Amino acid sequence: MDRIPLGRRHFLKGAATLGAAVAAASTLPGCGSLIGKRNTFDISLAQWSLHRRFFSGDASPMDFAAITRQEFEIGGVEYVNQFYKDNLSDALVQDLRQRADNEGVRSLLIMIDGEGALGAPTEADRKQTVDNHKKWADAAHALGCHSIRVNAQSQGSYDEQRERAADGLVKLAEYCEPLGLNVLVENHGGLSSNARWLSQVMETANHPRVGTLPDFGNFTINRETGESYDKYQGVRELMPYAQAVSAKSYAFDAQGNETSIDFHRMMDIVMAVGYSGWVGVEYEGDRHSEAEGIILTRDLLRSIKG
């Protein structure tokens, strides 16, 4: 999936404003979801949804594509680098690609953690972090992915962090551009969970390969103080730059609705900007088993899709 051209961003900003009106209208008495059956999206599976199974050794990360297709009937996968970092090689990547091809599963992106801060205070440290990410970009390219998902950690004042994060993202995007890869930032704690700040990072970076991966649930800015950003407003502000979406879920009621996130409202916001890409199931709760949580999230998305 190609990155949205910069000119398109300004159109999408207007669409996002319209989306706010759409989302507000959908909450009025007598008004149901405005998605209806006019929009479409594909459903993928984030590997983190099965982190307990993989970390415990109950399943091999090499079987992720097979599990995704055979157990959950899902056709797209989002890898997590933590499960492959100890033995990453060209042979391993080719094996993963072959397994995905055998199952008819699309490899979409790699979520990268633990490789340094792209917004590090010094230019040298930012360059080192970019270098650390290159092997994962190469792997994503070999897998046939459209993106890598990165973090925008930084230090300093609000403005300093914006400038530093944008600089690191652009440096990485310059490496990824010839590979046909997008560099997507997830709201993932700290200032990155402040959607206004992250939107400003996107504008400062101003690069056609730099975008966002809005996550429905990661809007806690400071765990110690409890400071958080409104999740619906946050997704609304990040969608104009989105090239992937994470449907984070934690728990469900007897009717199959997520108990802390209004998925219908969220998907109205997602669809309001014309998004028609992949929406990743990312179950992170403990009330249901991993398999149950994945199925509940998948089925809720399917019901919204119509």
> What burial letters (b/e) apply to 3-30, b meaning 16+ CB within 10 Å?
bbeeeebeebbebbeebeebbeebeeee
**pLDDT of 2 strictly over 60:** no
Residue (of 72, 148, 65) closest to 302 by Cα position: 72
Token match 């990661």: residue?
218
Q: Looking at residue 306, what is its pLDDT?
A: 84
Neighbours of 203 (CB within 10 A): 13
Q: What is the pLDDT of residue 39?
A: 56
Q: What is the pLDDT of residues 220-260, one digit of tens each?
A: 999 999 999 999 999 999 999 999 999 999 999 999 999 99
Query: How many angstroms separate the CA atoms of 182 and 256, rounded?
Result: 34
Tens of pLDDT, residue by residue over 30-68, are 333 443 444 589 999 999 999 999 999 999 999 999 999
What is the pLDDT, as a whole number, of residue 302? Answer: 97
Work out whether strand 147-150 and strand 220-222 pair parallel, antiparallel, or are unpaired: unpaired
Mean pLDDT along residues 204-217: 98
- Structure token digits, residue 5: 């051209």
Chain mean pLDDT for the chain: 90
Q: What confidence tier does 17 reach under pLDDT thresholds 50, 70, 90?
A: very low
pLDDT for the residue numbered 128: 98
Per cent of the chain over pLDDT 90 is 87
Strands across the sheet containing 42-46: 210-213, 182-186, 147-150, 106-111, 76-80, 42-46, 278-283, 245-249
pTM above 0.75, yes or no: yes
pLDDT digits 0-9 by tens, 114-134: 999 999 999 999 999 999 999
* pLDDT bracket for residue 201 (50, 70, 90): very high
Regarding beta strands 220-222 and 210-213, do their DSSP bridges make them parallel or antiparallel, or are they unpaired?
A: unpaired
What crossing angle do the helices spanning 231-238 and 6-25 adopt, rounded to 10°?
150
Give the model's pLDDT for residue 16: 46
Find tokens 């704690």 and name the residue: 189
The superfamily (CATH) of domain 6-26+43-305 is Divalent-metal-dependent TIM barrel enzymes (3.20.20.150)
pLDDT per residue as tens digits for the range 60-103: 999 999 999 999 999 999 999 999 999 999 999 999 999 999 99
The pLDDT value given to residue 9: 52
Quote the CA–CA distance of 82 and 69 in Å, as a whole number. Answer: 21
Show me where the domains of the chain are located.
6-26+43-305
Contact 49, 66 (CB under 8 A): no
Return the CA Rg of the chain: 18
Q: Once rounded to an integer, what is the mean pLDDT over residues 148-155?
A: 96
